[in-house]
Structure 1
Amino acid sequence: MTPAARYQAAIEILDDILAGTPAEKALTGWARRSRFAGSKDRAAVRDHVFDVLRQKQSCAALGGKSGRGLILGLIRAEGRAPDTVFVGGDYGPAPLTEEECLAGDASDVLDLPEWIVPHLQAALGEAFAPTERALRSRAPVMLRVNLAKSTCTDALRALADEGITAQPVEGSETALVVSEGARRVKLGRAYMDGLVELQDGSSQDAVAALAGLTPQRVLDYCAGGGGKSLALAALCDARIDAHDANPGRMADLPDRMARAGTDLRRLTTEDLATQPPYDLVICDVPCSGSGTWRRTPDMKWRFSPEMLAELLATQDAILDAAATHVAPGGHLAYMTCSLLCEENEERAESFVQRHKGFEPVDQRRWPVSPKGDGFFMAQFKRVS
């Protein structure tokens, strides 16, 4: 595909998304209809679509609200000449009309849904503006060095042998940021042999803090794919059980364990009911994902006040259930990848009010940054 043809494909996909199709479904549908597109073409088209979704309001102000207008706005936002893309022909976007040649102004535009702006301003204070700008850009590709199998130096060497360039993150024993060759990571020996795993830097930092508790028995109550369980297993000698209300979310965990050289138990809700209490229970709860909207920009525009209200009730219910599995003297860790006070500090405070046998021991936010996503963790200790 020519560069212009890739932009035309992105226009068609964006029109599909604007009509209500989720971004991933729209991209998959296009790929299935476009067997002629190679892997580089699909990657480039995906990048164009997600670059627009991260800054949809700005692109609309600069070009228009249709798929074509959004791509025009993206090109202007990137400082490129639109007439190098809107070239017409059989596969490229048609040349610009006289009206389209008039550029708009995006200097005062916020790339967020209007309803959520006051929530984020209240939560972030002076950090609101830099966070809003950061959410317009691509997220870093982060790796976790599996210390059970490798060292940072050896992992970097193995990645370099495969043409992948990465740098250590200051202050972290395990985090690497990939600067070149990110799309080759999952195909390389370092990943396949379990020397590294894809994991955001903020999550790694949070797990490292929990490893400092030196737990002996751990329950990952909302395990999902098991990333935090695997990270903790590489940092401490603990018996770790992984549970999820939807066991299907843990389907990939056996393969990930095999790569990592780690043995975890997967427990159903029925299995969990027979287990003795744990000295650490981790709750990485469903949330808005607002701290990860660089990675899932479509969700930013689909999220609603009604969805937030449902999530808050779910988060409280999960914490209440998880608390029953904490042993006396044990710890409960509540995690989100949200930026909102409603999902973070307010849920932590509400939990303590409902459960007098727990006291807060630590609370921390991680900002959206070049080193990781926005993240929150509160720790509680069971004192009675």
Structure 2
Amino acid sequence: MRLGGRLAAAIEVLEDIRARHRPAADALRDWGLSHRFAGAGDRAAIGNIVYDALRRKRSAGYLFGSDEPRAAAFGALFLEWGETPETVKAALTGDRFAPPLLSDDEIGALGANRLEEAPEAVRADVPDWCAPFLEARFGAGWVAEGMALSARPPLDLRVNTLKADRDKVLRELSGMNAEPTAMSPHGIRIPPIKGSGRHPNVQAEPAFRKGWLEVQDEGSQIAAALAGAESGLQVLDYCAGAGGKTLALSAAMENRGQVFAHDSEKQRLSPIFDRLRRADVRNVQVVPRPEELAPLEKRMDLVLVDAPCTGSGTWRRRPDAKWRLTDRQLEVRMAEQEKILAEASRFVRPGGRLAYVTCSIFPQENVERIDAFLAANPGFNPVDHAQLFESRFEGKSGSARIDPAKGISLTPAYSGTDGFYVAVLSRAA
């Protein structure tokens, strides 16, 4: 397929997403199933246009003065692919599968609408109702954070130190532009793709199949490290999901001690069993039923709560979620977080720690939830987060926003990671 056919397909997928309010991944999968003639390169390029259009939806809409999928798709080419009206016209001319060429009105709008003059929420590419939350959290830098959350993400990997080291995996991945991550000592980063390119399928690599690595954002790796799992401890991963942080905890513990992996929705745990086997993890017990946790009450050295949240810190990877999110969904998540913190805290032994993590940038899901929990649970106190970060990532405190009493925040613009929040609380002995 030429650019014209790919662009037309992207517009079709974007129209499907808007009409049916469905995730982009589902719409792209269904398009691929009904257009089996499209090769892997075509599907990758179409996906890039779709995701770029969703990341830069408001910017593209402003440039064209339209919120139609066509404007978003063309805007993606101009904002992210380095195309111009002239290069796009040349590429589309004579392509019978291409959408109609830009009209004089559309070209006129592009010339008249300057993005640097757009409202701040437009330049940040965030919904208007979310803008005050970012401003409250990041102050004068909130637009830059929104823009970073609208950029293409890298592909981050975590080396499984139970089976390999970073140098060994880097040699295995030579030719992929892989490099060590800036903060995580076990992380590897493959830079963001450009244009119609695609990241390598690392899950097809022998290194992945041998359990040497996992796909995990550097921010998630840092959050797991800050939780403080060490060899010999008794640890409860209370919202384990598919097990990404469970695996990181086990590796940090060198397969010694015990990790109990639990999730209130049992189906989320289904991938964890294959992942544990592949990673050669031997100190994890999967505990799917809440009643099975009763013997662990007040016995855990560490309880990790990777809380369900809006996922606003992952918008560059899941930009469609940004536009589906509602204030009501935020309220539901906040209530869930409050309930989960109260439940999980029961398992922390006297003198033990409770680590609270979200992949959200909203203060309502982060410091406000911790403040509410501390007010209701005077037996818990925050650790010194500045000291904690320095102990784990010596000399790198400038890469995170750290409030010693309130927690640690990681963001794309400031840290080069997805958006994460970490607070660690100690229970009185």
Shorter chain as normaliser: what TM range? over 0.9
CA distance in 2, matches of 1:94, 1:372: 39
What are the Cα deviations for residues 196-243 of structure 1, in whole angstroms up to 9, with x where unaligned?
110110111122222366561000000001111101111113311100
Matched, 1:174 2:186: yes
- State the 1:346 CA deviation: 0.6
CA distance in 2, matches of 1:379, 1:213: 15
Shifted more, 182-191 versus 267-276: the winner is 267-276
Within the candidate set 56, 62, 66, 2:68 is matched to 66
Query: Structure 1 length normalisation: TM-score?
Result: 0.95
Structure 1's 34 and 220: CA in aligned 2 closer, same or farther, altered over 3 A? same
- State the 1:88 CA deviation: 5.7
- State the 1:85 CA deviation: 4.3
CA distance in 2, matches of 1:343, 1:129: 20
The number of aligned residues is 382
**Paired residues of 1:143 and 1:176 also in contact (CA < 8 A):** yes
- State the 1:171 CA deviation: 3.5
- Which residue does the alignment assign to 1:92? 98
RMSD of aligned Cα (Å): 1.7
AA at the equivalent of 2:55? R
Secondary structure of the structure 2 residue equivalent to 1:279: strand
- State the 1:67 CA deviation: 1.6
Query: Structure 2 length normalisation: TM-score?
Result: 0.85
AA at the equivalent of 1:367? T
What are the Cα deviations for residues 286-326 of structure 1, in whole angstroms up to 9, with x where unaligned?
11111110001011111111111111111000000001111
Alignment of 1:206-285 (within 5 A): 206-211=223-228, 216-236=233-253, 237-263=256-282, 264-268=284-288, 269-276=290-297, 277-285=299-307
- Which residue does the alignment assign to 1:337? 359
Within the candidate set 91, 114, 121, 1:105 is matched to 114
Shifted more, 24-33 versus 82-91: the winner is 82-91
- State the 1:90 CA deviation: 2.6
What are the Cα deviations for residues 224-272 of structure 1, in whole angstroms up to 9, with x where unaligned?
0111110111111331110000111011111111111102211021221
Shifted more, 226-235 versus 14-23: the winner is 14-23
- State the 1:35 CA deviation: 0.8
AA at the equivalent of 2:424? Q
Within the candidate set 124, 129, 134, 1:115 is matched to 129
**Paired residues of 2:229 and 2:235 also in contact (CA < 8 A):** no
Secondary structure of the structure 2 residue equivalent to 1:339: coil
CA distance in 1, matches of 2:428, 2:230: 16
**Paired residues of 2:158 and 2:215 also in contact (CA < 8 A):** yes
* Structure with the higher fraction of residues in helix conformation: 2
CA distance in 1, matches of 2:183, 2:418: 16
CA distance in 2, matches of 1:220, 1:187: 28
CA distance in 1, matches of 2:161, 2:337: 32
Identify unmatched segments of 5+ residues in structure 1.
none
CA distance in 1, matches of 2:330, 2:93: 43
What are the Cα deviations for residues 20-40 of structure 1, in whole angstroms up to 9, with x where unaligned?
332222212211111111111
